[in-house]
Amino acid sequence: MKLVLLGAPGAGKGTQAKSLSKELKLAHISTGDLLRVAIKENTPLGQEAKKYVESGELVPDHLVTKMVIERLSREDVSEGFILDGFPRNRQQAVELDDFLSTKSTCNYFAFYLDASEKTLIKRLSGRRICGMCQAVYHLVNFPPKEDMVCDHCQSELYQRPDDKEETIKNRLAVYNRQTAPVVEYYSKQNRLIHLKADAEASLVLDEMLKILATPFTLLKEQKKKV
């Protein structure tokens, strides 16, 4: 089974990807994780990405795509994978399809986790990030064991400036502009499953598993009802 999870910041992509990975025994591929590992292991792509990270710039799309494609070329994804937050734009979606078509693995679906602005603001404003390893926590849903200290590396947690309520609305507007073409791309391909994601994570997960339990040939009809 091959899945792509789309959704605005705070929609629950990471949470659901981890849960689905555990339930379905599939590789969870997160671009954030790929970047951290590549930089830590000092791979050629990691060295290139590190230059952007250290200068405070966004890692270019083409570099992120290379990392994802390299990860998808490994043995452990032969039975399936869950892509978390990738592709972020139409060009990445096209390049992903180009790669998958060479592997005869173009049979996949994209879940679009659609949460209201109110829900997204609530979730994002509670998020805290480790300043060292970039691990993500939430003051309500996933708090660290020790207040404002990372469980993994014991570094201090912080709130990103763009996770403050006054800037979240602008982030969401930018995301929607960038992602709308991706949603349209998958919708036209009849791959998109539009799922409301305002509920508790466990309820959203149950709905996703219910949909995925449907025979593959019936998923196209099922997704229209979600």
Active-site option among 36, 171, 196, 220: 171
Verify whether residue 177 is a known catalytic residue.
no
Tokens matching residue 196: 């409301």
Active-site option among 88, 90, 196, 220: 88
Tokens matching residue 165: 């309520």
In angstroms, rounded to a whole number, what is the distance separating the alpha carbons of residues 217 and 209? 16
Active-site option among 13, 71, 191, 223: 13
Active-site option among 2, 66, 123, 127: 127
SS (H, E, C) 15-64: HHHHHHHHHHCCEEEEHHHHHHHHHHCCCHHHHHHHHHHHCCCCCCHHHH
In angstroms, rounded to a whole number, what is the distance separating the alpha carbons of residues 211 and 226? 9
Verify whether residue 191 is a known catalytic residue.
no
In angstroms, rounded to a whole number, what is the distance separating the alpha carbons of residues 29 and 115? 22
Verify whether residue 123 is a known catalytic residue.
no
Q: Which of 171-195 are b and which e, b meaning 16 or more Cβ less than 10 Å from the residue's Cβ? A: bbeebeeebeebbebbeeeebbbbb
Verify whether residue 128 is a known catalytic residue.
no
Active-site option among 22, 40, 74, 160: 160
- Residue 139: count other Cβ atoms within 10 Å of its Cβ: 15
Query: Are 195 and 226 a contacting pair, CB within 8 Å?
Result: yes
In angstroms, rounded to a whole number, what is the distance separating the alpha carbons of residues 28 and 121? 25
Residues designated as active site:
13, 88, 127, 160, 171
